[in-house]
A and B are shown apart, each in its own frame.
Chain A
Amino acid sequence: GENVEQHPSTLSVQEGDSAVIKCTYSDSASNYFPWYKQELGKGPQLIIDIRSNVGEKKDQRIAVTLNKTAKHFSLHITETQPEDSAVYFCAAINYGQNFVFGPGTRLSVLP
């Protein structure tokens, strides 16, 4: 079955700097890769996703890149703000299968 690794487990950046979180997956048939943000005491919320026929997707300060050959995808947050502090989860899904989540990255944006 699918296995998703996520690095780093914790990340601290200065406000205004960029943050990058990387995930690798094992099942080459996986074709959907969402990213979720989880704030303290809340459930995960989808922030961006990418499908296997796309290499990059942007939404304001957030972007995701996908390298299917290397089986990894990354979340990029530019111009970080204190409200970006949260735990971020990646996931990989094969058509008709269940989501497999990475272990999470705790991002702290320091003022």
Chain B
Amino acid sequence: DAGITQSPRHKVTETGTPVTLRCHQTENHRYMYWYRQDPGHGLRLIHYSYGVKDTDKGEVSDGYSVSRSKTEDFLLTLESATSSQTSVYFCAISESTSYTDTQYFGPGTRLTVL
């Protein structure tokens, strides 16, 4: 998985609790992304980062925040988890946003909100 780890790999939590997911890369790539994957929707972009402390919203950013204090780490936080945020979350990295650049994905985190 191209030097990308995600933690935790599985998490069960209750509605209303805060949750933080971590993505760690060893490739020194500039761009990092958080996606969620749901049946029938494919992968949808939540937030992305184009450098340390530089982030922007994606297609489905409501209810999520991100932070990137180091090149290698990108955190996704659910401030108050809801059942609609039950999903599989993938982190991805790329060297740039050039259309010629591939995105490499991590192994995913399965989150269940009860």
Contact = CB atoms under 8 A, between A and B. Distances in A.
Chain A interface size range: 20 to 34
A45 interface: yes
A82 B32 CA distance: 33
Nearest to B97: A96
A98 interface: yes
A1 to B, nearest CB: 8
A46 B107 CA distance: 14
Interface in B47-80: 48, 58-59
Contacts, number: 57
B84 interface: no
Contact of B100 (A32, A36, A44, A98): A32
Interface in A5-50: 6, 9, 31-32, 34, 36, 41-46, 49
B interface: dominant SS: loop
Contacts of A44: 43, 90, 105
B45 A99 contact: yes
Given A43-B1, A43-B108, A45-B105, A98 B48 contact: yes
A4 B43 CA distance: 11
A4 to B, nearest CB: 8
